[in-house]
Amino acid sequence: MRETADLARLDLSDEECARLEPELDSILEHFKALSELDLEGVEGTASVGLQDVTRPDVPQGSMDPETLLARAPRERDSHYQVPRAVGGSE
């Protein structure tokens, strides 16, 4: 449970883990029905009715960066501002 939460980038409290774990167990138990199916030789369907789409390699206009940055929790010098990725604080 903790491992999956870490992969999902969810900082769950002990209380949440205790509550969610039995719920997830019962959901996965219900989903185990899929193991009954004989799927030998059956190709997967990731999506329906799609084909490869290409377009000419021509630059197109994009949205004004300031419009997007104005909607971010924090920005500095026309960039998103986040904590330092290596070695602690910003």
Partner 1 sequence: MNAPFEGLDATGLRDAICAGQRGVRETTAACLDAIEASQDTLGAFLTIERESALARAEELERSDAEPGPLHGVPVAIKANLCWEGHETNCASRLLEGWRAPYSATSVERLLAAGAVPVGVTNMDEFAMGSSGENSAFGPARNPWDTTRIPGGSSSGSAVAVAARLVPLALGSDTGGSVRQPAALCGVYGYKPTYGRVSRYGLVAFGSSLDQVSPFVTSARDLALCMSVIGGHDPRDSTSLELDAPSAALRGEVALTGLKVGVPKEHFPPELDKGTRAACEAALARLEERGCELVEVSLPHASYAIPTYYVVATAEASSNLARFDGVAYGQRVDGDGSLNSMFAATRAAGFGDEVKRRILIGTYALSAGYQDEWYGRATRARTLLRRDYEAAFERCDVIAAPTSPTVAFPLGERTEDPVSMYLADILTVSASLAGLPAVSAPAGFAAPADDPTKSLPVGLQLTGPHACDERVIEVAGLLESTSDDHLKTPSGGAA
Q: According to the binding rule CB under 8 A, does residue 2 interact with partner 1?
A: no
State in angstroms the smallest separation of the CB of 8 from partner 1.
4
Residue 88, sorted as left (phi over 0), alpha (psi -120 to 50) or beta, turns out to be: left
Residue 35 near residue 28 (C-beta atoms within 8 A): no
Q: According to the binding rule CB under 8 A, does residue 10 interact with partner 1?
A: yes
Strand 79-80 relative to strand 75-76, pairing:
antiparallel
Which residues in this chain contact partner 1 in the complex, by CB under 8 A? 1, 4-13, 16, 20, 23-24, 26-28, 30-35, 37, 39, 42-50, 53, 55, 63, 67-68, 71-74, 80, 82-85, 88-90
